[in-house]
Amino acid sequence: MFDVAAQLAVLPSSADEMLRLLQGAVRAWRGEAAGWAGCTPEELTAAQERLGVQIPGPLEGFLFLCGGREELMGFQDPLLPPGGMRIEDDVLVIQEENQRCALWGVSVQRLGEPDPPVVFKDPNRAGGDWQPYQDRLSVHLLEAVLNELMISSESCIFREANENAIEELTHSLNPVGIPEHVFWAEPEGPGVKWLAGAKFLVRIDGNSIVWASAPLGGEARDVLNIVPEGWDRADS
């Protein structure tokens, strides 16, 4: 059984180890039979030639592993396949919200770093500039996959985020190693916070929504022991 709190409490320091942790999370939520469908070297080479820049190491490793699996690349905030990446304002755009309300990317000047930081912007906001989002690309990729595993899980439930619920969850659960960061939909407000029990994972999106999900064999409704009311199923 994937002990969510223990596995995610302290994140690995290297991008390679982070990728192995990502694989473990996918197996926990999707099962051992989950296949891996990666991009080919030819696809990555073609993208780099088209863009005129290198794909950063953590992203290249991720795409080799599972760049062909649409359900991991995402539906809510899709990670772009090599052929869909582009450069805007000297930033390599690697991900966009499904209604193009937010973009994530890596500065072209930092693509050669072992694990470069990620920036984001709201393309619909007048004068919106790229802002810091996550200090490490490998952490961002893990978080992107956890987001998709969580929301697409049959166990996923959610509720409104209010002060009392956030306080109870923060007091009762363990922090996850993903650093708290800006919530793209409310960049001036509280950030995104990840918490975990042994058998379930919680994400708090600022003052907006609390999500809870569990790996296969777990039950996200265990969180009702902490905050009993106000939850709905994500697939209802």
Average pLDDT over residues 180-206: 96
Percent of the chain at pLDDT exceeding 90: 83
Average pLDDT over residues 29-55: 89
Average pLDDT over residues 195-205: 96
What pLDDT was estimated at residue 1?
72
Q: What is the rounded (10 degree) CA torsion for 185, 186, 188, 194? A: -90
Higher pLDDT, 127 or 31: 31
What pLDDT was estimated at residue 225?
95
Assigned token pair, 101: 């309300």
pTM above 0.85, yes or no: yes
Assess contact for 176 and 194: CB atoms under 8 A.
yes
